[in-house]
């Protein structure tokens, strides 16, 4: 990897086995003078690493260690997860705090997540236990994805998104039985800014993280009226601009709160698919300052994948971020180990079964590349 892991701990607040925290110049104003540190003696100092080894903690795993669990049981489960992660060298976790128009934290905006049926604060516990182990915590949100029809009907009428639905607002749309915020609406941007502000204002998170849920459909009817009213002539470019607008707003909101906090985006690994199906302008976001601090393409492909083989795809992302100052973290599909990959092409369907060492080989390839780290989806 092109960056060497920092050896000094920010304000000497955390100790971890083998490494400590420093975000580096690309993360803006992370270094503090002695006088500044003294002035901020009681203030939390964000913990971030120049070289990330990340781990996603998605909401799909919550039934296993959150649902029907007491606070003590949840804490114990998180301790086990983080101990295992630390043993594997993980220094950053992306914890799913806002996956479906809900909250796995104390929120005045969103209803609590359906898997949180205990009287405790999951995010506070994750932060507490992670920071004890020198692990950075990024609050992972899905900006546009809301509840299903059935879930929405069960929610109180004062939920802001439900109010929009009741009023016939064009800022919330139903796609195949699930509600989504419309990327083109300025009200959507404002709500996302409030969401991020609430999280970073209440918790000592070290960053904010979003993944690859951008435009929920390519159907032209989804936003036809808004597009016609916009005066634009290129639907794809207009949609990309809409997504980039809220991405930029999230970045600016994070930086306005604290320049030392970082913001990351995890798009699809296939660059053509980013543009063709989700209108995600990854070349813009990863190619210059001002949209994100780090980008984590989900290169969930084997070496033999017929459409997007791992090594050429990695090289494409290296070229995309070269010289931009945006950290490149490679997302790896540990969950595929031992499974058939039906989308890899006939010659590569069994690669994840036949090659039990594939993830280790990919990690080695990342270390030999210009990337700044990797992240595992298990």
Same domain assignment for residues 257 and 358: yes
Same domain assignment for residues 42 and 118: no
Alpha-carbon distances of 155 from 97, 187, 276, rounded to whole Å: 18, 21, 34
Tokens 């970045």 appear where?
251
Q: What is the pLDDT of residue 201?
A: 97
Query: What pLDDT digit, counting tens, does each position of 234-261 carry?
Result: 999 999 999 999 999 999 999 999 999 9
Same domain assignment for residues 172 and 298: yes
Query: What pLDDT digit, counting tens, does each position of 107-161 carry?
Result: 999 999 999 999 999 999 999 999 999 999 999 999 999 999 999 999 999 999 9
Q: What is the pLDDT of residue 33?
A: 31
Same domain assignment for residues 11 and 108: no
Same domain assignment for residues 17 and 163: no
Same domain assignment for residues 124 and 28: no
Q: Which of 3-7, 63-67, 305-309 has the lowest mean pLDDT?
A: 3-7
Average pLDDT, the chain: 91
CA angle 281, 298, 188 (to 5 degrees): 45
Same domain assignment for residues 226 and 355: yes
Q: How confident is the model at residue 42 (pLDDT cuts 50, 70, 90)?
A: low
Query: What pLDDT digit, counting tens, does each position of 183-234 carry?
Result: 999 999 999 999 999 999 999 999 999 999 999 999 999 999 999 999 999 9
Q: What is the CATH number of the domain that holds 157?
A: 3.20.20.80
pTM metric for this prediction: 0.90
CA angle 317, 318, 319 (to 5 degrees): 90
Percent of the chain with pLDDT over 90: 89
HSE-CB of 118 using CA atoms within 13 angstroms: 17
Q: What is the pLDDT of residue 1?
A: 64
Is the pLDDT at 339 greater than 60, yes or no?
A: yes
Same domain assignment for residues 43 and 85: no
Is the pLDDT at 324 greater than 90, yes or no?
A: yes
Query: What pLDDT digit, counting tens, does each position of 16-39 carry?
Result: 333 333 333 333 323 223 333 333
Is the pLDDT at 105 greater than 70, yes or no?
A: yes
Same domain assignment for residues 171 and 187: yes
Same domain assignment for residues 358 and 286: yes
Q: What is the pLDDT of residue 3?
A: 41
Q: Indicate the number of domains in the chain.
A: 2
Same domain assignment for residues 31 and 168: no
Contact 3, 50 (CB under 8 A): yes
Q: What is the pLDDT of residue 43?
A: 86
Is the pLDDT at 181 greater than 70, yes or no?
A: yes
Which range of residues forms the domain containing residue 18?
1-50
Q: What is the pLDDT of residue 41?
A: 44
Same domain assignment for residues 245 and 303: yes
HSE-CB of 321 using CA atoms within 13 angstroms: 28
Q: How far apart are CA 376 and CA 54, in angstroms?
A: 6
Mean pLDDT along residues 358-367: 98
């Amino acid at each position: 990897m092109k960056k060497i892991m920092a050896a000094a701990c920010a304000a000497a607040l955390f100790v971890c086995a083998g490494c400590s925290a420093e975000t580096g110049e690309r993360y803006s104003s992370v270094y503090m003078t002695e006088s500044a540190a003294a002035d901020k003696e009681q203030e939390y100092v964000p913990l971030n690493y120049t070289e990330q080894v990340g781990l996603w903690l998605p909401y799909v795993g919550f039934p296993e260690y959150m649902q029907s669990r007491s606070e003590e049981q949840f804490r114990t489960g998180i301790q086990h997860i983080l101990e295992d992660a630390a043993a594997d060298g993980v220094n950053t976790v992306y914890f799913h705090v806002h996956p479906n128009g809900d909250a796995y934290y104390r929120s005045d905006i969103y209803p609590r997540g359906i898997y949180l049926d205990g009287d405790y604060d999951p995010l506070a516990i994750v932060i507490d236990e992670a920071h004890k182990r020198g692990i950075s915590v990024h609050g992972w949100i899905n900006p546009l994805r809301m509840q299903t029809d059935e879930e929405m009907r069960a929610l109180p009428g004062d939920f802001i998104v439900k109010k929009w639905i009741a009023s016939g607002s064009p800022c919330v749309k139903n796609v195949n039985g699930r509600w989504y915020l419309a990327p083109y609406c300025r009200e959507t941007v404002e709500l996302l800014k409030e969401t991020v502000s609430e999280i970073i204002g209440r918790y000592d998170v070290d960053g904010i993280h979003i993944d690859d849920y951008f435009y929920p459909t390519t159907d032209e009817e989804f936003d036809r009226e808004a597009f016609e009213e916009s005066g634009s002539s290129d639907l794809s470019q207009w949609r990309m601009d809409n997504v980039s607008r809220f991405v930029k707003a999230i970045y600016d909101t994070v930086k306005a709160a604290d320049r030392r906090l970082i913001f990351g985006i995890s798009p699809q690994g296939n660059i053509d698919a980013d543009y063709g199906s989700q209108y995600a302008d990854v070349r813009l976001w990863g190619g210059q300052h001002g949209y994100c601090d780090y980008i984590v393409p989900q290169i969930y492909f084997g070496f033999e994948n017929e459409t997007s083989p791992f090594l050429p795809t990695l090289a494409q992302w290296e070229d995309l971020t070269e010289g931009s100052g945006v950290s490149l973290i490679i997302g790896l599909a540990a969950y595929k180990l031992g499974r058939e990959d039906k989308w890899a092409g006939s010659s590569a369907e069994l690669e994840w079964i036949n090659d039990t060492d594939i993830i280790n080989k990919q990690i080695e390839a990342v270390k030999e590349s210009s990337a700044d780290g990797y992240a595992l989806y298990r």
